[in-house]
């Protein structure tokens, strides 16, 4: 409703007349009371006098909403101007009426035509126009996939860790919606030959990540993991296929002529650089060019070093060093990002003014210091005050003290994490703080945290703060600094950022000086003119001797139109600032080095649960001789990473020397051979170290091989035969009707003879002209095909 709304001809709800004796040139201040304007609504008050009109447009109260995303659609909570829940409110949207429940909640289904749409919120006596960002039903699957680099040793067992996350329009939802989980592992060797394996017996649990064990192929170059699942879409009435994948590259040195490489390890808080050959042999007295980058400086520091008799260079603790680059004489160069303890922070934290805001602190100091933390107050994007005194540290948690409403900037200098802290003063409703001008969603006010790792003589203790039933801990113990970042790979699954709504002021307007039209003025004058009794007698005349009648001219006066009020600005609708789905930066997944000389793979302990006190105790013997410890704790919202290094252990190396070479006096050839092994038979490789083989022990693997070799799209269409035993009778008949052929007949006769006899055999028996394969499947006499003419027709 604007000030230029046309009200002529309408009957007002209330009307009053005031008379004043003051002259028109005198300005007098008047006060008017309108006791009838008690209820919320939009009111128009017109003041009319002396041919002019002034208008007041008064807005009183409003209805608004806060929204969250659920699997059923947008769930709106209807609130009034006092931020109180409005039960049984009406919502008019897209030509439909929705009624809120007693809690003020109403569900709006997702759209197939997303966009910002008008929405009317109404009670019995009042309505407000707002706008809703109507989203489509878009599911996305995000998987944090990690395999430790020192697990990928040739022909050894390795375990891949998969942390699935399902998002609906950027909001995490329950994993129980996922169906038909399938993991595809694709490996490629140094020669570019690929092989795939599918795993469909995955177990999905909300409080555990998926773990799958596999054997590392020989001469591996890249390995990819693809997680596939289906989820039912309500708007499309069908199942949608979702995928998430990660690819790891390794052993790239085998594609070059390099025979020596650099490795970085951590021992008791000290970094050690080692120069080793491809079989792990030490290389003493070799020059190393070193560059280090301090986290607070732009330029790098350069140094020339030399390995000692053990082929190592001790670099020390490297405090505040963010990056190390080393180059050996053969030209091999590596750059390591020195990963400190980290946390998957939100980019924004919301809270209630005067309350304590908790932020995980990954440092080791007991008191907060300015060299680690900066905390400033903002107005817009401008810093106006230093609020460092409001910070304190309590048990690994950085506490932001009681502060007034406003925006604040928190910078953790060591990790580079910057957070915008928004506080507002208002009531708390579920996960929202309802302020007068903005409404803030609060998420995870008690964040998951790991205390610094406590190393004992025989045990290692980890204290987990704010653990919940979904908290699990993963432990990796390695020889070298990991090439694949466990925190970066697993923190891809993150919580959504908190949302907020900005509520504009509901402004009233006053317009003056409008000239009313002659017609309206005449109507008003007639309405308020004095009323006299009527008289039907002939009126007396003043002229006794009138002039002679002659022709006259009559002029006509047109009623003048009045002016219009200028339109007022449209009232501002509430502005939604939805939190976007958080996503971590992908960890490193590329390694130039080969680690096949390690005789012992890394120690990996997965899906460990802390006890009721949040404590987790590890036996040092379970870690073996590995000294570099990495601990990752996760729950649905957080990822926390801590690392420490122990005393160096004796990690054995594999003897990769060529022990049994070929006789130089004989000639040899390399052969490719295909062997069919019947059940109960054995297949023996005389020398597994110099042989390469691929096992095809399932129908799925054979199908994948032929799809790869032939690149025939028809084979892809026939992949339903891989799941034939799981299909319902109706689905089997539907697939058979669509893909009936000799090939399918033969396949079903071998793999599902009962279904073949019940459904296909009657069809073949009644065919007028049977082919050779039809007769073969029916068991008929085939001797006629021994004649040359019949044989040629085959």
269 pLDDT above the threshold of 80: yes
682 in any annotated domain = no
Phi, psi of 726 (to 5 degrees): -90, -10
- Confidence (pLDDT) at 544: 62
455 pLDDT above the threshold of 60: yes
Tell me what percent of the residues of the chain surpass a pLDDT of 90: 54
Domain boundary among 331, 358, 384: 331
Q: Are residues 327 and 472 in the same domain?
A: no
144 in any annotated domain = yes
The helix, strand and coil proportions of the chain, stated in percent and rounded to the nearest 5, come to: 15, 40, 50
Q: Are residues 353 and 490 in the same domain?
A: yes
More confident residue, 680 or 486: 486
Distance of CA 468 to the CA centre of its chain: 21
- Confidence (pLDDT) at 651: 87
Q: Are residues 761 and 626 in the same domain?
A: no
400 pLDDT above the threshold of 50: yes
Contact at 8 Å (CB) between 325 and 291?
Answer: yes
- Confidence (pLDDT) at 11: 84
* Mean pLDDT computed over 16-36: 87
284 in any annotated domain = yes
Helix or strand holding residue 54 (H, E)? strand 52-60
Q: Is 765 helix (H, G, I), strand (E, B) or coil?
A: helix
616 pLDDT above the threshold of 60: yes
Q: Are residues 117 and 34 in the same domain?
A: yes
Domain boundary among 331, 356, 378: 331
570 pLDDT above the threshold of 60: no
Count other C-beta atoms under 10 Å from residue 778's C-beta: 14
Of 398, 405, 496, 517, give the one whose Cα is nearest residue 447. Answer: 398
222 in any annotated domain = yes
- Confidence (pLDDT) at 566: 62
Output the domain CATH number for residue 192. 2.60.40.1930
pLDDT digits (tens, 9 = 90+) for 709-744: 888 888 888 888 888 988 898 999 999 999 999 999
428 in any annotated domain = yes
Domain hosting residue 33, numbered range: 1-136+504-528+564-573
Domain boundary among 254, 286, 307: 254
Residue count of the chain: 794
CA 502, CA 172: separation in Å to the nearest integer? 24
Q: What is the CA radius of gyration of the chain?
A: 40
Q: Are residues 488 and 508 in the same domain?
A: no
611 pLDDT above the threshold of 50: yes
* Mean pLDDT computed over 509-532: 80
Spell out a b/e string for 587-610, using b for 16 or more CB atoms within 10 Å of the CB, else e: bbbebbbbbbbbebbbbbbbebeb
Q: Are residues 467 and 603 in the same domain?
A: yes
Q: Are residues 388 and 492 in the same domain?
A: yes
Q: Are residues 105 and 38 in the same domain?
A: yes
Which tokens sit at 197? 């394996």
Q: Are residues 20 and 115 in the same domain?
A: yes
- Confidence (pLDDT) at 256: 93
Tally the domains of the chain.
5
Q: Are residues 217 and 228 in the same domain?
A: yes
654 in any annotated domain = no
pLDDT level of residue 583 (50, 70, 90 thresholds): very low
574 pLDDT above the threshold of 70: no
168 in any annotated domain = yes
275 in any annotated domain = yes
pLDDT digits (tens, 9 = 90+) for 126-142: 898 999 999 999 999 99
Under 8 Å CB-to-CB from 189, ≥6 apart: which residues?
Answer: 217, 218, 219, 220, 221, 692
More confident residue, 674 or 311: 311
* Mean pLDDT computed over 172-176: 94
Q: Are residues 57 and 124 in the same domain?
A: yes
CA 396, CA 450: separation in Å to the nearest integer? 8
Q: Are residues 83 and 128 in the same domain?
A: yes
């Amino acid at each position: 409703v604007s000030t230029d709304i046309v009200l002529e001809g309408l009957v007002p709800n209330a009307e009053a007349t005031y008379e004043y004796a003051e002259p028109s040139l005198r300005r007098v201040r008047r006060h008017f009371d309108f006791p009838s304007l008690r209820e919320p609504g939009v009111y128009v008050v017109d003041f009319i006098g002396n041919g002019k009109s002034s208008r007041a447009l008064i807005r009183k109260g409003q209805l608004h909403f806060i929204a969250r995303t659920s699997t059923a659609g947008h769930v709106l909570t209807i609130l009034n101007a006092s931020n109180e829940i409005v039960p049984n409110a009406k919502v008019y949207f897209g030509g439909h009426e929705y009624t809120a429940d007693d809690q003020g909640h109403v569900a709006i289904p997702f759209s197939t035509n997303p966009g910002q749409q008008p929405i009317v919120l109404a009670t019995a006596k009042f309505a407000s126009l707002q706008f809703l960002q109507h989203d489509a039903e878009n599911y996305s699957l995000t998987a944090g996939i990690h395999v430790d680099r020192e697990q990928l040793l040739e022909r050894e067992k390795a375990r891949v860790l998969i942390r699935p996350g399902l998002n609906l329009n950027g909001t995490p939802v329950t994993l129980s919606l996922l169906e038909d989980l399938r993991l595809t592992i694709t490996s490629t060797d140094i020669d570019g030959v690929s092989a795939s394996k599918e795993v469909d017996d995955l177990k999905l649990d909300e409080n555990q990540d998926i773990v799958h064990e596999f054997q590392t192929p020989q001469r591996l170059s890249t390995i990819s993991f693809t997680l596939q699942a289906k989820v039912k879409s309500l708007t499309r009435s069908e199942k949608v296929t979702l995928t998430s994948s990660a690819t790891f590259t390794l052993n790239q040195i085998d594609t070059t002529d390099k025979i020596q490489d650099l490795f970085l390890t951590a021992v008791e808080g000290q970094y050690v650089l080692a120069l080793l050959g491809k079989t792990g042999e030490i290389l003493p007295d070799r020059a190393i060019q070193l560059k280090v980058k301090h986290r607070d400086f732009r330029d790098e520091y350069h140094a020339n070093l030399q390995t000692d008799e053990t082929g190592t260079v001790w670099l020390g603790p490297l405090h505040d060093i963010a990056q190390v680059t080393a180059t050996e004489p053969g030209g091999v160069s590596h750059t390591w990002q020195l990963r400190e303890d980290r946390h998957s922070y939100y980019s924004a934290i919301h809270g209630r003014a005067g309350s304590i805001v908790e932020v995980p602190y990954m440092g080791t100091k007991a008191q907060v210091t300015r060299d680690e933390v900066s905390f400033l107050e903002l107005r817009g994007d401008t810093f106006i005050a230093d609020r460092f005194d409001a910070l304190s540290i309590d048990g690994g948690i950085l506490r932001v003290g009681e502060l007034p409403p406003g925006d604040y900037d928190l910078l953790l200098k060591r990790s580079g994490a910057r957070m915008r802290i928004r506080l507002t003063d208002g009531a708390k409703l579920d996960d929202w703080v309802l302020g007068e001008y903005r409404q803030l969603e609060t998420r995870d006010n008690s964040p998951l945290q790991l205390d610094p790792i406590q190393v004992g003589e025989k045990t290692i203790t980890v204290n987990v703060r704010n653990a919940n039933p979904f908290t699990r801990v993963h432990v990796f113990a390695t020889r070298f600094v990991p090439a694949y970042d466990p925190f970066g790979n697993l923190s891809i699954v993150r919580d959504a950022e908190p949302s907020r709504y900005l509520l504009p002021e509901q402004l009233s307007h006053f317009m003056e000086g409008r000239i009313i039209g002659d017609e309206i003025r005449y109507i008003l004058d007639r309405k308020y003119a004095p009323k006299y009794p009527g008289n039907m007698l002939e009126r007396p005349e003043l002229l006794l001797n009138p002039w002679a009648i002659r022709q006259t001219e009559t002029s006509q006066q047109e009623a003048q139109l009045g002016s219009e009020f200028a339109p007022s600005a449209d009232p501002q609708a509430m502005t939604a600032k939805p939190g976007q789905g958080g996503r971590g930066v992908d960890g490193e997944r590329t390694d130039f080095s080969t680690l096949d000389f390690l005789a012992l793979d890394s120690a990996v302990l997965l899906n460990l649960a802390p006890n009721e006190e949040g404590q987790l105790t590890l036996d040092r013997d379970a870690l073996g001789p590995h000294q570099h410890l990495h601990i990752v704790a996760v729950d649905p919202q957080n990822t926390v990473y801590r690392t420490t290094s122990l005393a160096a252990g004796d990690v054995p190396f594999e003897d990769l020397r060529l022990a049994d070479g070929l006789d130089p006096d004989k000639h040899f050839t390399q052969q490719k051979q295909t062997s069919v092994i019947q059940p109960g038979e054995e297949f023996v490789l005389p020398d597994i170290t110099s042989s390469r083989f691929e096992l095809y022990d399932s129908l799925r693997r054979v199908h994948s091989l032929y799809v790869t070799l032939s690149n025939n799209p028809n084979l892809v269409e026939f992949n339903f035969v891989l799941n034939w035993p799981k299909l319902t009778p109706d689905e089997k008949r539907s697939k058979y009707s669509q893909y009936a052929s000799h090939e399918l007949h033969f396949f079903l006769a071998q793999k599902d003879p009962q279904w073949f006899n019940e459904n296909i055999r009657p069809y073949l028996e009644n065919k007028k002209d049977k082919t050779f394969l039809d007769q073969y499947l029916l068991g008929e006499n085939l001797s006629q095909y021994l004649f040359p003419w019949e044989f040629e027709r085959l």
